Structures are given as C-alpha cells and as structure tokens.
Chains A and B, each alone.
Chain A
Amino acid sequence: SQKIEQNSEALNIQEGKTATLTCNYTNYSPAYLQWYRQDPGRGPVFLLLIRENEKEKRKERLKVTFDTTLKQSLFHITASQPADSATYLCALEIDSNSNSGYALNFGKGTSLLVTP
C-alpha cells in the first residue's frame, strides 16, 4: 500500500537555527511532491511544489529537496522564527486511473516548535 512517513515526534529548535523536516514515501512514483503548513484548528495552506526533475526548490527562507532514488523529500526553514511554529505536511498524488481524477494523500505531519 502507499505510505507517506513523516517524523512523528515534534521538532523543537531555537530561533535563528535551520529546521529540517523529512518526508519518506513508499509505493509511489510521484511526478511531484507538495508541502503544506497547518496551524491548530485551521486548514492546511500550500507552501511549495517540487517536480521529479527538480532537485531543489526555494521560496524565501524555505527550501525543498526531492530525491526520487531515496524516495525522500527534505523541507528546510532557514533562520527560523517563532511564527514558523506549526505542523508541516507533505503530500503526494494518489494512484488512480485517469477516469478517477486526481487527489492528494497527506502524511501525518511533523510539528515544529521554534522557541525564542
């Protein structure tokens, strides 16, 4: 079965450091992978999409890598701030035939806490 695994333990880091979150997957052959941020009691918000032919993608203080050989994506937040504290989810397209359309499966997410 298809699985998306993210670190279940919360990640606590000090303000100003780089946070690195991991997403591993099995039984997927993804053309792309997405990362979302979710704050408590709210819906997830899209952050970044990286395609299989892109090794790395950046957006401001965010950086995502995608290694289809290792079946892994890393999500980095540099110069982290307390406002970055949230749960971060990675997502992959489910396997479906063309008649069923497209939908995303999400990992359980990793909770990040940035302390001053």
Chain B
Amino acid sequence: DGGITQSPKYLFRKEGQNVTLSCEQNLNHDAMYWYRQDPGQGLRLIYYSQIVNDFQKGDIAEGYSVSREKKESFPLTVTSAQKNPTAFYLCASRRGLAGAETQYFGPGTRLLVL
C-alpha cells in the first residue's frame, strides 16, 4: 500500500521531555510538511521540506525541530521549549516542487502532556 504513516497514534510527554513524532511516506514525494491542529482550529504549518537535507520554518516553528536525512522520512521533535504541545499533529507530502499539487495527509499523532 502506498501512503503516509505516522507513529505513534498517541504520545504522552512529561514536563521537560523532548519527544519525536515519526512520519514516513512511500509515495516518492519530494515535499513533506508538518501541521499542528488544536480543537476547533485550523491546521497551522510548523515546518516543511522540499528536498533532502533542506527545510523551512512555517508559522509556528518555535519549540519544534525537524530533519530530512532521507526522502521518505521527516521526523518532528517537540522540544521542552514548546510550552503548550498538546495537539493533533499531521504530516503531509506532495509530489512535486511546483504548485497546483495536492497534499496527502497521514492519520495523525495526538500528543498529550502528563
């Protein structure tokens, strides 16, 4: 099956702890994205990457970090600097670098703070 996988489905973070959310795609897409969604809110862009070893900050990058060492993987680390990390995190990918391309989303990871 082709698609985007995110793990884990639920993740619990303790105070002061860094946690990493996994995102993998086997669609051979160049671009990958991380969004955060809070209850009743829209999707807000955290980071995105167009090619391996390169990424750009989105609107709410503070307290997060990413890496893109492989085309198919784009993990997101929620650091202790992110004071309000409880949210639904969505990873997405897109085929090309040009516009007019649709984004494909993973099933999401729900992060909760203990």
A43-B42 in contact given A93-B99, A102-B98 (Cβ < 8 Å): no
Write the chain B residue with the least CB distance to A109: B42
Interface size class of A (residues with CB under 8 A): 20 to 34
Shortest Cβ distance from residue B108 to the other chain A in the assembled complex, whole angstroms: 5
Nearest CB in chain B: distance from A24 CB, A: 14
B28 is an interface residue with CB less than 8 A from chain A = no
Q: What sequence of 0s and 1s flags, for each residue 54-87 of chain B, a beta carbon within 8 Å of any chain A beta carbon? A: 0010100000000000000000000000000000
Cross-interface CB contact of B105 among A32, A43, A100, cutoff 8 Å: A43
Q: Which residue on chain A has the smallest CB distance to residue B100?
A: A32
Does the CB pair B108–A49 fall under 8 Å?
A: no
Collect the chain A residues with CB atoms within 8 Å of residue B103's CB.
44, 46, 91, 104
CB-nearest residue of chain A to B106: A43
Q: From A105, which residue of chain B is reached at the shortest CB distance?
A: B45
Which A residues are in CB contact (< 8 Å) with B48? 101, 103
The answer to whether A103 touches B42, judged by C-beta atoms less than 8 angstroms apart, is no
Cβ–Cβ contact B90 & A43, under 8 A: yes
Known A32-B99, A46-B103, A102-B31; judge A108-B41 contact (CB<8 A). yes
In the complex, the answer to whether A51 meets B100 with C-beta atoms within 8 Å is: yes
A6 to chain B, nearest CB (A): 8
Write out the residue numbers on chain A whose beta carbons fall within 8 Å of the beta carbon of B4: 43
Residues of B whose CB lies within 8 Å of any CB of A are 4, 31, 33, 35, 40-43, 45, 48, 50, 56, 58, 88, 90, 92, 94, 97-108, 110
7 A-B pairs with C-beta separation under 8 A:
A46-B102, A46-B103, A89-B43, A102-B101, A103-B31, A106-B42, A106-B43
